[in-house]
Amino acid sequence: MSIDPAALPRHVAIIMDGNGRWARERGMPRIEGHRRGANAVHEVVRAAREIGVKALTLYAFSAQNWFRPPEEVSMLMRLLREYVIAERAEIMDNSIRLVTIGDTDRLPGLVREPLDSLVCESAGNQAMTLCLALSYGGRESILATTRALCDLVKQGVLSPSDVTEDRFHSAMQTADLPQLDLLIRTSGEVRLSNFLLWESAYAELYFTDTYWPEFGRDEFIRALESYRGRERRFGLTGDQLRRLG
């Protein structure tokens, strides 16, 4: 696929939903849905890199997912470890920078150790940024940023009037990522589920009934084509945009 880089979203985020339902409808245990979902991650990351998307954020494990049955959480952690180890060569060979957002201190050591290692090892890569949202919640992120800025105000480093929209953004974990342009959700659900709430303020939304294990390169391209056909006005009128363009 060849798209004018100017027509591509700079930053795409995906809520990877439907692994469990995909497995249940096929009489399989939920973990098999998650395993197939890991294959979809591999395919979509590769497609994004080849097409020229600069940043891809994947909602891999939410802050609320900790409340799932302990055996499922344990299996998800093992799968995450397997993914990080298995994808190391792909990430390094394709100059992908791996970063994370969320409360990753809660992750068990079996995940944190290979994850932290690959984050450090890939820090100089420049072709694309792959951001994994782990133990992440949008409300939690906004609250953590607010607390951090309140501490700076309390210390006298900032005054309340210094806390502008730009200053708030610069204190968030996503500050060094491009503005979020396109947010995709799979499996037919039509909600944000506490994902990138601040960052999605002007993102285009794309919903598909496809379960995540079946979401691949072709479906990803359809989402990009949908984005390319939209007029992004940011509060202006279409006529104003045309005059500015």
Single out the residue of 103, 59, 80 nearest to residue 194, CA to CA: 59
Rounded to 5 degrees, φ, ψ at 86 are -70, -30
Q: Is 65 a catalytic residue?
A: yes
d(CA 69, CA 188): 24
- Catalytic residue, from 4, 17, 166, 194: name it: 17
**Given 4, 19, 39, 65, the catalytic residue:** 65
DSSP state of 102: S
Give strand pairing partners of 106: none
Which long-range contacts (C-beta less than 8 Å, at least 24 apart) are formed by 114-121? 114/81, 114/84, 114/85, 114/88, 115/80, 115/81, 115/84, 118/84, 118/88, 118/91, 121/88, 121/92
Task: Please report, for residues 7, 54, 145, 198, 228, the alpha-carbon distance to residue 165 in angstroms, rounded to integers and kept in the order given.
Answer: 27, 24, 12, 10, 28
Q: Would you call 13 exposed, middle or buried from its count of C-beta atoms within 10 A (0-12, 13-18, 19+)?
A: buried
Number of Cβ atoms within 10 Å of the Cβ of 11: 22
Tokens standing for 94? 């394709």
Residues 6+ apart with CB under 8 A from 112: 104, 105
Q: Which amino acids are annotated catalytic? A: 17, 65
